Amino acid sequence: MRNHLVALGFALLPISAHAQDAKATFLDQEGQEAGSAALTATPSGVLIEVEATGLPASNWVAFHIHETGSCDHGTGHESAGGHFNPSGAPHGVLSEGGPHAGDMPNIWVDAEGTARAQVFNPMVTLADGDNGIKGRALMIHAGPDDYQTQPTGAAGDRLACAVIE
C-alpha cells in the first residue's frame, strides 16, 4: 500500500510542475472580479498567464505593468500610477531607446469579450530589487497600445486592474 501511495505522488508531479510564484485578480471599472493572472519566475524573466472577461469584443487591448499596487475603481484605476519604468526608458518597442519594463504586447480579446494570453517579460523579476514587480499592478486598457506614443501608447481607459501578490 505504501508503495502505491509513493507511486501516486510521483504520478501527480506533472500537475504541479508549472509553479505559480505570484497571482493577481483583475477588477473591472465597477470593482467586480474580472479575471486572474498567474505569474511564474524563470531564469530570464517572468511568464504571465492572463484570463480576463468583460473586455471589448474582437479587439486588441494594451497590457502593461503599472508602478503602484492599487486598483481603486473609484479613480478609474488611476491609483495604479503610470507604467512601471525603473530605467526611465521611453515607452514602446517602436521608440528609440524603448521599450521599458512595463511595456508588454497587446493581447487579443475574443468575440465573447475574453482575453487569454501568455506574455513573457524579460525585463522584470518576482524577486526584490529595482525590477521586482510584486506589489505592483497589471493593467488592461480599452484599446491597443500603438507602441510609440509617450508615455502610455495611447491605449485608452483602464478597464481591468490587478495587484500582483
∠ CA 133-76-99, nearest 5°, is 40
pLDDT tens string 60-79? 999 999 999 999 999 999 99
Fold of 19-163: Immunoglobulin-like (2.60.40)
- Distance between CA atoms of residues 118 and 37, nearest Å: 9
In DSSP terms, 140 is beta-bridged to: 63, 160
How confident is the model over 9-35, as pLDDT tens digits? 434 444 334 456 999 999 999 999 999
CA-CA distance, 44 to 125, in Å (whole number)? 8
**CA-CA-CA-CA dihedral for 69, 72, 76, 77, to nearest 10:** 10
Q: What is the pTM of this model?
A: 0.87
The yes-or-no verdict on residue 52 having pLDDT over 80 is yes
Are residues 57 and 109 in contact, defined by beta-carbon separation less than 8 angstroms? yes
Q: Where are the domains of the chain?
A: 19-163
Q: Give the pLDDT confidence score for residue 9 in this predicted structure.
A: 41
